[in-house]
Amino acid sequence: MRKYIFIVGGVMSGVGKGVAAASIGKILQSRGFEVTAIKIDPYVNVDAGTMNPTEHGEVFVLNDGMECDQDMGNYERFLDKDLSGANYMTTGSIYQTVINRERNLEYGGRCVEVVPHIPLEVINKIDKAATKNKSQIVIVEIGGTVGEYQNILFLEAIRMLKTRKSQDVLSCLVSYLPLQEGGELKTKPTQYAARTLNSAGIQPDIIIARAKVPLDKKRKEKIAFFCNVLDEAVISAPNIESIYEVPINFEKDNLSEFILKKLNLKSKGRDLRRWQRLIKNVRLSKKPVKIGIVGKYFNTGEFVLADSYISVIEAVKQAAYFFKRKPIISWLNAEVYEKMPSRLSELNEYDGIIVPGGFGGRGTEGKIAAIRYCRENKIPFLGLCYGMQLATIEFARSVGKLKKAHTTEINPKTSYPVIDILQEQKKNLSEKNYGGTMRLGAYPAIIKKGTIAYHAYKQHLISERHRHRYEVNPQYIEKLEKKGLVFSGFSPDRKLMEILELSRETHPFFLATQFHPEFKSRPLNPHPLFKEFIKTAIQFKISNHK
């Protein structure tokens, strides 16, 4: 019998619903169950691909090319599983399906209504995803916060499913408890959130109490009493240093045991050993490794910044923990280097520099200047997607003497278009067909022997996730190679360049990828390129007595 666990948020957004959902998945997986996780976002966008990262954080990409919310990244990282587009839906995608079905006469001439047809389609999609993933337990996170208008139809889906399958459905409220100046955690906002959920016809079975500090016995009892749940169903979820500790913390309150009991499931043992080892590494990592990320999504403050590059940050952390180093990550604003080139010398303070993915012109000259500084001063450098394109431009300009070389994304009239639009993308842009049309998802690549990339992957054929419209212009490949640029990864037909690097004789680590390795890095399995980058950064630090 399939079991459903719905996660909804109370009081405010940004309290870690995604990590809570992923962690519940992890602890149930550790009890021997096949688990999958689904994210439902309340916005009308059909997917997350058309949104600016400052609006909604990073756009995460799945193997099948689905552009989705960053929480999907959390699920993949915690469950150590590849998920598919079936695990992600939005108000927009659900309406689109229902409207298409109506156009195809699939409702047999009936009047199609928001209720019940939209919630029924939500349930239908959840079941399809669970079947596709062959999962007995499906965790469904509803975006937004209880009480807002936008997610009401999803709550309706929970209500309908719970009425039909009361033994198989649990709902979990992840709520926030503010800490009063005097040091007391306040439960009232959570009580209101539970009541609001009640008014949507749903009684929470579990309440995860997010707060700065752990919950004391008194507060636990109060929440249990006023929100009508059992004492053992109130889980303390204080702030902790690493999100990877959350599953372990949940288990301190015996959460998996409670869930299994409620859902009438018999545990098949318990194995969190590998995860425990990861946490041990996190705790043991004291010596720092300092990584600078040169980005541009700075205009809405630190919080959004971290959200815009979350997979890159996690990939750095995972690789650092692997080598028992404490990752210290700093944000470097590319635009500053355009106005004040003298500031580039601050790059010397870092053990490694990353130029991540991006779009458009703002900040690119600053990123190019940073790449040049890393190349000339032999600072370990990792470029991701746009980072690879800008590294190609920098090399073409400085070493290839192709002054003003550029990408046609920024300067369509450049005399040296070393980065140019993919042939198949031209039509999409001219027809303004932007949504879900980039070169998206997993594609294979061949790795050249004797290169840094081969040393890292130790294999000839890889598969990595993409999200781009532009690429290295084939007309310049030979020219750049003659000047010393090594294309160490390419598509099997050798048409698309996937990795570039400089030989180890000329630079300790200068490597960039057209794909996004960060999307496939997992805490229990850090990405080989990030590992190689961090390893070199640590050596670089030691040899420079930093």
Binding site for ligand GLN (CB under 6 A): 357-359, 385-386, 389, 409, 467-470
On the 0-12 / 13-18 / 19+ scale of CB atoms within 10 A, 538 is buried
Closest contact distance (angstroms) between CB of 388 and ligand GLN is 8
| Separation CA 42–CA 44 (nearest Å) | 7
Closest contact distance (angstroms) between CB of 464 and ligand GLN is 12
- CB nearer to ligand GLN: give 41 or 409: 409
Closest contact distance (angstroms) between CB of 530 and ligand GLN is 17
Q: Are 381 and 375 in contact (CB under 8 A)?
A: yes
Among 56, 117, 468, 516, the one annotated catalytic: 516
Q: Is the peptide bond before 116 cis (omega within 30 degrees of 0)?
A: yes
Catalytic residue list contains 471: no
Q: Provide the b/e sequence for 181-209 (b: ≥16 CB within 10 Å).
A: eeeebebeebbbbbebbeebebebbbbbb
Write out the two tokens for 348.
């010397």
Strands 486-490 and 497-501: antiparallel
Q: How far apart are the first and last CA of the chain?
A: 57
Closest contact distance (angstroms) between CB of 372 and ligand GLN is 19
- CB nearer to ligand GLN: give 328 or 422: 422
- CB nearer to ligand GLN: give 295 or 357: 357
Q: What is the DSSP-derived secondary structure letter of residue 30?
A: T
User: Alpha carbon of 223 to those of 148, 191, 237: distances in Å?
Assistant: 22, 7, 14
Among 385, 468, 527, 532, the one annotated catalytic: 385
Closest contact distance (angstroms) between CB of 425 and ligand GLN is 8
- CB nearer to ligand GLN: give 125 or 465: 465
Among 67, 409, 464, 518, the one annotated catalytic: 518
**E strand residue ranges, 256-355:** 288-295, 326-333, 352-355
Catalytic residue list contains 507: no
Closest contact distance (angstroms) between CB of 298 and ligand GLN is 17
Q: Are 515 and 465 in contact (CB under 8 A)?
A: yes
| Separation CA 438–CA 432 (nearest Å) | 12
Count of all residues that appear for the chain in the document: 546
Closest contact distance (angstroms) between CB of 533 and ligand GLN is 17
| Separation CA 354–CA 510 (nearest Å) | 10
- CB nearer to ligand GLN: give 2 or 362: 362
Q: Which residue's Cβ lies closest to ligand GLN?
A: 357
On the 0-12 / 13-18 / 19+ scale of CB atoms within 10 A, 257 is middle
- CB nearer to ligand GLN: give 220 or 467: 467
- CB nearer to ligand GLN: give 417 or 523: 417
| Separation CA 431–CA 427 (nearest Å) | 6
3-state secondary structure 489-504: EECCCCCCEEEEECCC
Catalytic residue list contains 172: no
Catalytic residue set: 385, 516, 518
